Amino acid sequence: MNSPLLEIKNLKVAYPVTNYGEDKKTWAVNDVSFNLDKGEIMALVGESGCGKSTLGRSVMRLLPHESTIEGSANFQGKDIFSFDSQAMRKFRGEAVALIFQDPMTRLDPLMTIGDHCIETLKAHQPQLSTKEAKQKALSTLETVKILPERFNQYPHEFSGGMRQRVAIALALLLEPKLIVADEPTTSLDVTIASEILAELTSFCRDREMALLLISHDLAMVGKYCDRIGVMYQGEMVETGKVDDVMYSPHHEYSKSLLDAAFHLHHTTASQPPEAKTTPLLQLKNLKQYYTLEANFIEQILGKKSQTIKAVDDLNLDIKQGEILGLVGESGCGKSTLSRTILQLIRATSGQVQFLDQDLTTLTEKEIRGLRKEIQMIFQDPHACLNPMMTIGESITEPLLIHQMGNKQENRERVEKMLNRVGLNPQEYYNRYPKELSGGQQQRVAIARALITNPKLVICDEPVSMLDATVQAQVLDLILELKAEFNLTYLFITHDLSVAKFLCDRIAVMNGGKIVELEETESIFKNPQHPYTKTLLASAFTLKMRS
């Protein structure tokens, strides 16, 4: 019988204690054991903070220096934790590669894509000439559909999906035997995510490379993985073949995780009431164009400036009290549209009619006064919360900006809002963002957005970074708050199951234009535009339970 490629035995990991109180270890990974064979694709799933990423990073020995590690991790029979620095440097990249959730944590904004590839190759294979390294780099980039003409471009010239393709190419360059992929498609739209996962898993199987996929997307896991490990509070509570765990789970946590996922995937939003006919927001012939100027060398070669039509002559109404979903691939203009509505960037031309005013004609001061009526919930709550401010201070800040009450009134208002989003003010008011889980941080971001009592809330991928159970909780909260505060939502998402669960109507965006706009049920049952059909065909879906 062949020995496993990776063998984890009784692994325990604790991070350095940062407080000066009781020196008590909290195990982020607690007594975990599992094996991974050549060519096998295994998923790790579980809620935020359960230890998935810690486990993946422990295999790469990328934990903080003073972390406590017990147990063993053997790769091809060799103890990873006994490697010296030179052996570890060779191990990383050549034997095991890591793909991060955010590709910009791997990419240097001052280096071209080609430089990234050549630097990686030369560091591990110094015998290669620059020409040979470039040829190998181009070949690997081609496998992830990056064209040769983009070799000398910089990361900021790529969309999120293209950056992740580059990150995958960098992981594949040295042909490692194991890839650890930590949420590699979380920030990508469904068509790009489907393509990338199909390419990555096919690449691994063809070359007998093992893949440890850390993910919260159970539908994706069901489609691409052989085995699944469910983690909860640092422990591996259940492992087995994907279908066995997903359709016949044994542990109570596995059952709750899967129940939440099936709830989202097999629930359709109710139809909007007939009364919802008055537009709250009207976009008329809206354009947002950017010009990419040719650099000096390109001008000499006769290359002209390029116009990017991020939002192209777009017309759209959002009715009072509805949830309008906006879906489309990375780079189609969704986020640019939201920022144009908010006048964070000024439109090239067209109108943004809100509360009978054209926002494009207002001064900065007038727009600032109106912003309390339009608020935004972002994809990454940690990035939009000031790490130096307490939770109470973060939620109070919009009230201070808009001069909306005295100190006592604001305190009471914030405490009431914290209670409303499910966070006890006595426990959370004086905490800092780093002390909260991802789901708790997003609840704070929702409270901050609603504290000014807005009429329109723009939600830009607000649950894409959350696991299934927390995702369901946050979406239910969004629905409850909509009814309670009479809110209207523009909900931007690449997750079609979330759009199906939440939205009254769905607008499909492609190439800066709305190519289809219908009620949710109609979009899913009878899509008309070819792009909508492609989008739905690419979606990860959970098969109905028998």
Contact indicator for 165, 145 with CB cutoff of 8 Å: yes
Q: What is the pLDDT of residue 16?
A: 81
Please give the Cα distance from 372 to 376 (Å, whole number).
10
Whether pLDDT at 143 is above 90? no
Determine the average pLDDT of the residues in 143-164: 84
Report percent pLDDT > 90 for the chain.
Answer: 56
Q: What is the pLDDT of residue 110?
A: 92
Q: How far is residue 264 from each of residues 183, 320, 388, measured CA to CA in Å?
A: 20, 25, 35
Whether pLDDT at 21 is above 50? no
Q: Where are the extended beta strands (E) located within 202-304?
A: 210-214, 227-232, 235-241, 279-292
Whether pLDDT at 45 is above 90? yes
Residue type, position 457, single letter? V
Q: What is the pLDDT of residue 20?
A: 45
Please give the Cα distance from 474 to 495 (Å, whole number).
15
Mean pLDDT lowest for which of 13-22, 258-267, 302-311, 483-492? 13-22
Nearest to 225 by CA among 237, 243, 207, 238: 243
In this structure, the number of other CB atoms found within 10 A of the CB of residue 433 comes to 21
User: Tokens for 409?
Assistant: 């009134």
Q: What is the pLDDT of residue 168?
A: 87
All residues at 6 or more sequence positions from 235 whose CB lies less than 8 Å from its CB, including other chains: 30, 31, 32, 51
User: Tokens for 304?
Assistant: 């002209």
Per-residue model confidence as pLDDT tens digits over 501-521: 999 999 999 989 999 999 999
3-state secondary structure of 449: helix
User: Tokens for 535?
Assistant: 């989008």
DSSP string of 241-258, one letter each residue: EHHHHHHS--SHHHHHHH
3-state secondary structure of 285: strand
Per-residue model confidence as pLDDT tens digits over 415-473: 999 999 999 999 999 999 988 877 889 899 999 999 999 999 999 888 877 777 888 88
Helices (H), 66-189: 85-94, 113-124, 130-143, 160-172
Element (H, E) at 33: strand 27-36
User: Tokens for 308?
Assistant: 């990017």
Please give the Cα distance from 156 to 138 (Å, whole number).
19
pTM of model > 0.75: yes
Q: What is the pLDDT of residue 517?
A: 96
Per-residue model confidence as pLDDT tens digits over 98-136: 988 777 778 899 999 999 999 999 989 999 999 999 999
Per-residue model confidence as pLDDT tens digits over 330-386: 778 888 899 999 999 999 999 999 988 999 999 999 998 898 999 999 888 877 899
Cα R_g (the chain), whole angstroms: 25
Longest distance between any two alpha carbons in the chain, whole Å:
74
Tokens 């081609």 map to which residue?
A: 142
In this structure, the number of other CB atoms found within 10 A of the CB of residue 197 comes to 25
pLDDT band at 275 (very low <50, low <70, confident <90, very high): very low
At CA 46, angle to CA 501 and CA 380, rounded to 5?
Answer: 65
Contact indicator for 39, 179 with CB cutoff of 8 Å: no
3-state secondary structure of 326: strand
β-strand pairing of 227-232 with 235-241: antiparallel
Tokens 């009429």 map to which residue?
A: 455
User: Tokens for 205?
Assistant: 């199987």
In this structure, the number of other CB atoms found within 10 A of the CB of residue 121 comes to 22
Q: State the burial class of residue 255 (Cβ atoms within 10 Å of its Cβ: 0-12, 13-18, 19+).
A: middle
Q: What is the pLDDT of residue 200?
A: 86
pLDDT band at 494 (very low <50, low <70, confident <90, very high): confident
